Structure 1
Amino acid sequence: MNFNQGGNPSRQQYAGADRGESMSAMATPGGFDVSAPDTKNIPYQDSQGNVVPNHPKPHHFIPHFPDPTIIFDKRMSIIAWNPAMEAFTGISAGEVLGRATDRYVTTIYGMRRPTLAELAMTPDSAIEKRLGIERHGDMVEEALVFHDVSTGAGKTVSVKAGPIRDSDGLIIGAVESLRDISKFRSTETTAHQSEEKYRQLVENIRDVIFAVDRNGVVTSISPAIKDVIGYSPEEIMGRHCAEFVHREDLQRLRNRFDTTRSEVLQDMGHEYRLMPRHGDTRWVLFSCRPIHENDAVVGYSGILSDVTERKEKEKTLCEREELYRTLTENVNEGVVLYVDRKILFANGSFSALMDCSDAEEIIGGSAHAFVRDDYKVKLQNRIRELEGGVCGKNRFRGPCITKSGREIWVDARHNRIQWNGRPAVLATIRDITEDRRRVVAVKREAGNLKQENIRLRSFMKDRYRLDDIIGKSPAMQSVYEIIYRAAESDAPVIIYGESGTGKELVARAVHRMSARRDGAFVPVNCGAIPENLLESEFFGHKKGAFTGATINKSGYLDVSDGGSLFLDEVGEISLNMQVKLLRAIEGNGYSPLGSSEIKTSNVRIIAATNRRLIDLIQDGSMREDFFYRIHILPISVPPLRKRKDDIPLLVEHFLQKYGCDKPAHGIPGRVMDALFAYDWPGNVRELENVLNRYVTFRQLDFIHVASEPAGDCRHTSADAVETAGETEKNEVVHAPGKDVILNVLHKNQWHRARAASELGISRNTLYRRMKRYGINHW
């Protein structure tokens, strides 16, 4: 082990000791203390085993070692304890010589554990690894914190130990030495911290720090260069800097280097373009200074700052400045700058707007110079608020009087800006004279339309038709009003009504009057679809989804996307299908058969039924959640028997539909009476069928009449009365019934002439009918 006199040992000074070279040569004898006389006469041998006569024994010079040193025999008894160790530990040699190591261990190591000397004689890799001990051949080393008994201060101590071997190479003991390396460690730590600080500073600074030699070859560059041009420092160092400079800037850069060499320029501060690995060129601000050795320039060091973003902003700013200048001079709108409520600038468009030949006529004038007198104060206050930073309206609309005396209306938009450090108002002014005239006209027209709408709605009771729905009865007027309101919404609609009342016509009217009018209206008769095809019909299927699925097919939800889906006889849908349909119409999506794709449909549900859905819920045929999902906007269509006032309109409509030229008011009274008297269980559909047969066969046929009194007109026809004479033939075809004749007679107080006139028959025909039906007033 190399013990150096004085100074703090460095790792290089201990290099020989670390390899165990000095220890074996120096400590070959077996003992070192005068208390071990058997070791004093052992001859000293060098590292090759040669005896060196008269060589000084270790116990002669160990007391003079400057470092605290201790020697153990093979039994780990202390056999040497030099004065430096006494001073270091405060323990005299007499207290420890010939004794075990307990006190030394607790003093130096602070706990019970193997000493380095013990590990030097008996290596144990597990213990050494656990304690963080370094091994270099026979030598072991460890850094410990030792608490000085005199001062109580902690010291960093380097403890080293190595074995002592006899002439046969057998271990007969160990030597252990201590050295205070607190100052060395402090200096080393400070140096490392300083190095780390500056390293992090260089590596984390956004600007690129570089160095090149006199020829321009890069010798050092910071990692920030990769963020600029995409090359790592390793890819750049050793290459000429010209490889990365844009060719148009290369000569300029060379000229600057020449200037630097000749004039010893300290800071160039010029901008150049670099060529990145990918993408567009990058602009950098290049600043450098020469590196001198012996008054000669040997290289350059400096900083590259990425100014690409700034250059792009400058370019954009210049382009915008030019654009704004061009726009200001050529824009159709007037542009005016107010400072202290005076016009400081006005473009040509504003001058022309005010019938001035040149802007010089306007500049310097008051901000409200052209404003009509009753609006001057309003504009002046507006500009004062803006100049003062008060949050006010930045828009002004009002009349102006031009230089030629014309009155125009202008729309001015004001913005508060800074002009030469002073608050100012920039205004863009547009001529809205024609716009105002149109607005006034539109408002006038809107007022007229509003009045017309009020008038039309006041006569709503006189409506006799809505879309394809016929009827002017109060019951139908109520239905029309509900249809209007339902059309304004997008919520589901449920239509209640008996069979034949025209529920689908109501559904189509709601669709055509709604915002979905341009979308599809898809009617579906839920009761006509087999249960096993419901899912395929509603959701569609993919080719091969089941036997017979030879093509991809869109379902009702696909077809009606963006429109309306009309579910007629909705009460016939099964519970299983209700669940799937509910999920689809609530926006959770559905999947066609044979596909895992989740699809959604923007569809409005319009349902219809002739059943009481509440009863279906009670008997378990309908899910309650499905009911509440479709029962949002209910519309009840009245049966025909409750709106018989609409029969004449319906008769006229159906007669025209089936090509009959005779208007409804031309139909014999007895026929109309029969139509009024009938209860119409089949509603409008039955009426249409009856009139179709009437036009075809010239006879009335009420299918639902179970029994008729003698002489009833249920199957009365022209052929049946051929023998009655030609004058009576047409009267018998549509003869009114007994109840109708009685009602009319009572109404006219049995005045037969008036009753016959009201019935549309002759008085003689009335007498014959009264006789046939056995009607007598007396």
Structure 2
Amino acid sequence: MISKSYKNELENKIETLEKQIRDNAKNLDKFQNEQLFSQKVLDSLPGIFYLYNEKGTLIRWNKAHETISGYSSEELPEIGIYDWFSQSDKSRVRRAVEQILHKGEKRDVEANLLIKNGSLIPHYFTGVRMTIDGVKYLLGMGTDITQLKKTENLLIKSEEKYRNIVENAVEGIYQSSPEGRIISANDSMAKILGYQSAQDFINSTSNLAKDVYVSRNERKKFVKLMEKNSSVSGFEVKFYKRDKSIIWVSLHARPVFDSKGKLSLIEGMILDITKKRRQRESLEKSEALLREENLKLRQNIKDRYRFAEIVGKSPGMQEVYDLILKASATDANVIIYGESGTGKEIVAKAIHNLSDRKKGRFIPVNCGAIPENLIESEFFGYKKGAFTGATTDREGLFDLAQGGTLFLDELGEIPQNLQVKLLRVIEGGGYTPVGGKEIKTPNARIIAATNQNLKQYVAKGKMREDFFYRIHIIPINLPPLRDRIEDIPLLTEHFLKEMAGTDEIMVLSGEMMAALFNHSWPGNVRELQNVLQRYITLGNFNLIDEVDQEIKIFKRPQAIPVMKEGENYSKMMDAYEKKLIVSTLESCLWNREKAASLLEIPIRTFYRKMKKYCLKRQDMSNLA
């Protein structure tokens, strides 16, 4: 029988055990709750979490580990720590794990994670040692760096591409310190300056200012521009080559500043322009000589009766001659304004023949005569197969005018779509033949002509304003014949002599000359030429006035001798004027007032000329 005391003792022990059980249950619940919380935290991580013991067995992981690897929670503990990596990565991972567990050092390693389907995913692993109750554990995380590796590869390719561009560029490319020390350069830089390679150039050049720049002042000027944060483009300067010969280079550079705003680096590019510079200097000398010659011509041009193939001594034509000389001394675009028949093409030819382009071709184009659907192929040419019927390549007008002059008559007829392309050509952008890919850069001067008011065309939207101003550099206005009637005798003499084709030229009667002076000349010089051509060919003299009434005079031409070598031009003109006055007096029955009126000469001047030539009525018989 159990004693009472023992029973009480037993009950106390049972009570104590029950309390311990209750306390342990509470602690277990707390521990389980804490474990659940920590697992939720780990599962929320985007990367792999892992906890390995010293034997390399995975004892804890997160959900991402299962998702990324493709293994289930039952399979994961069966995979050893080094089985996650390819053979090429295992040795690096092993060294890192040993350093973590044995030396307690934190280690990072980049390796490819081998997942269940056999794929390799680049990861960045970070590991540390954790010791609990003397037991060592490897705790760490792995981050997927697939996108980072792609970006890195693109960057590497980009750097390689940039390096290839720099190395294969024909331009010399370099980096230097502000003091002039070469930091890097490509082979083209070395070759331009006469060195074997970029390294040879870098090793042989201690300072740009001392070894390369001919003028140290130019170097100082360049560096000051860099310090002002000014990128430099087209800075022309002389450089020494290795053999101390001198070349001209065009320098393009930009400054690089440090965090304090101080100039730390200069990145530059050079082009050898020695040949172009010499050509430019030669051209400048030629232009100077041409200007000098033109100046001499201008000094002697006053009261000239003829200039190039142009006839006339009127003040308006003297101004035209002066502009022709100015235009021929430059390569600027010219626009010639004038009514139909005033001789715009003759003026354009005169400019061409007096310019440096006289050895090139003069290509005249009537812009209004080219169908709109063919105008682009006419100007720029086309390639074989560009359209039906294009069986061979064909050169365009710009090709034909290479080195010469392209004369664009009736400029206002050019459609706007072509104006855009012509503007690109004029601005140096070149052109592409129809059906082609190659961009051609023409070397042709443009001289244009029109009988229209192009400013009104711009206002009405028929012509692009930028195109107008690119063409309208040197404007030349040709006066109509009605505004230069004092040139009619000279023009008449010129055409009659040219048309007769004999040693003698025809002379018109006073009545005919009076008719020429009084006519309005809507067709200008061309109309005069046609009137005289009919007179020589058919023997009749027809002038059609503004109301279509004809003046018809049938009279065979008289002849006067043509001036021969050694004869005096002034005396020849005096003889011609004398015959003209007598002929007019004869037609007016020697009525001097009427003759002076027909010739539009003031009566006092007319009397003075009669006195000069000793003209009296009885002299009529001496004029045969």
For this structure pair, what is the TM-score category when the shorter chain's length is used for normalisation? 0.3 to 0.5
Larger-Rg structure: 1
Larger helix proportion of the pair: 2
| Structure of greater relative contact order (alpha carbons < 8 Å, 6+ residues apart) | 2
With structure 2 as the length reference, what TM-score do the two structures score? 0.47
